[in-house]
Amino acid sequence: MTLRASISFGQKHFQKKMDLEAPSHGVTALFGPSGCGKTSLLRALAGLDRHAESEVQFRDQIWQGKARWLPPHKRSLAFVFQEPSLFAHLTVLGNLKYAVKRRREQAAVDLDEVIALLHLNELLPRKIHQLSGGEKQRVAIARALAKGPEILLMDEPLASLDLQSKRSLLPMLEAVTWKLSTPILYVSHSLEEVTRLANYLVLMGEPGVLASGPIDEMLTNLDLPLARDADACAVMEATCVGFDEEFHLTSLGFSGGHLVVPGRVVALGKQVRLRIAARDVSLTLQHQQGTSIQNIFPATVEAFQNQGDAQVLVRLRVGEVGILARITQKSAAELGLTSQQRVFAQIKSVGLLH
């Protein structure tokens, strides 16, 4: 674990303690409803707010402890706020250089790479008021990266943007997380952003941190509210292993076999993330013949749980990955569903995340 923190949010009559651990690489999402304290937690980690009786440790550096307080400008982090918050008296390039000038000596960041990742080349000489909302946020993210932080804290960076800007920024964010090794702490209340970006998920609710773990395990954990959501889904990584020239299908390999998706969607050998919604998975006892469904895999029932009066949520293991299936209780009774039962999972559709 890279970041360990225990923050006490205290007013006179109200105490709330949050404990957090985040791994040393990849994107850790702090996910939860609005008002559950995600932003407050992030601000406390950055040292923007100071809470008594709290501790923050990043790698071997104590940022906050019993007798120690490191002010935010001495912490090797960068912060992206929900609003772009650019310096209005500087140009786009001026904003980036502001961060470069204050960079720590050991930080090795290629500013040109950052500019390319966020497609800023043509915006560099612009003044801030000439930028759109999406462009501003791209500059803000680039500025944070230009500092060469050891960890990047992002507070709902897409939340204030319109749909169009969100759509164009998400792939750039993905590129950032793939190309740069900087660990990212990403606050969001959008499950879509989280499933696309995160490797590790910290689930937050009213009382504080509810649970945390790798994203694939968290999404398919039947004891957590994520799996009970109407849009419950599982994510998995797969690699493009080939194309079917005759029927124009792409074959994606993972530990449970090969999935096919229509079209030539990714380059050979490239890793992609797939989302499989619980409602798109059905179960059979025998491998069906004469069906239009292409993706059928042998699976093991790991756990299941009634959902409402009519439905059952089933966690299956296909190869080494967990997926969810939502079926009716009637179907479950007819299948004679039991734990460790061998079944076939029919996957009707797959979402390609990147």
Partner 1 sequence: MTFTEADFQALVITLKLAAWTTSILLFLGTPLAWWLARSTWRYRFVAEAVVALPLILPPTVLGFYLLLVLGPQGWLGGWMNSLGLEAPAFTFSGLVMGSVLYSLPFVVQPLQDAFSSIGRRPLEVAATLGAAPWDRFFSVAVPLAMPGFLTATVLGFAHTIGEFGVVLMIGGNIPGQTKVLSIAIYDHVESMEYGQAHTLAGGLLLASFVLLMLIYASHRRFRFTKI
Residues that bind partner 1 (CB under 8 A): 46-48, 71-73, 75, 77-79, 81, 83-89, 98-99, 102-104, 128-129, 136, 143-144, 147, 153
| Choice between 26 and 47, CB closer to partner 1 | 47
**Closer residue to partner 1, CB minimum distance, 10 or 94:** 94
Largest CA distance in the chain: 70
Amino acid (one-letter) located at 65? G
Question: Is 294 buried (19+), middle (13-18) or exposed (0-12) by CB count in 10 A?
Answer: middle
From the DSSP assignment, how many helices (H) and strands (E) are in the chain? 9, 21
Inter-helix orientation angle 92-101/133-146, to 10°: 20
Nearer to partner 1, 38 or 315 (CB): 38
Quick one: tokens of 161?
Answer: 């943007």
Q: Which is nearer to partner 1, 169 or 323 (CB)?
A: 169
- Shortest Å, Cβ 129 to partner 1: 4
Shortest distance (Å) from residue 109 CB to partner 1: 13
| Rounded Cα distance, 354 and 314, in Å | 26
- The answer to whether the beta carbons of residues 284 and 278 sit under 8 Å apart is no
CB of 98 to partner 1, least distance (A): 6
Nearest to 43 by CA among 13, 66, 61, 63: 63
Taking the complex as a whole, the smallest distance from the CB of residue 91 to partner 1 amounts, in Å, to 12
**Minimum distance between the CB of residue 127 and partner 1, rounded to whole angstroms?**
9
CB of 46 to partner 1, least distance (A): 6
- Closer to partner 1 by Cβ: residue 102 or 287: 102
Which CB, 169 or 201, lies closer to partner 1? Answer: 169
- Six token digits for residue 305: 């749980």
**Amino acid identity at 128:** I
- What is the smallest separation between the CB atom of 66 and partner 1, expressed in angstroms? 23
CA dihedral for 273, 211, 20, 50, sign (positive or negative): positive
Nearer to partner 1, 88 or 267 (CB): 88
Q: Which two tokens stand for residue 221?
A: 């954990």
Radius of gyration of the CA atoms of the chain, in A:
23
CB of 17 to partner 1, least distance (A): 24
Whether the Cβ atoms of residue 264 and residue 250 lie closer than 8 Å to each other: yes
Beta strand pairing call for 311-318 and 295-307: antiparallel
Task: Closer to partner 1 by CB, 84 or 134: give it.
Answer: 84
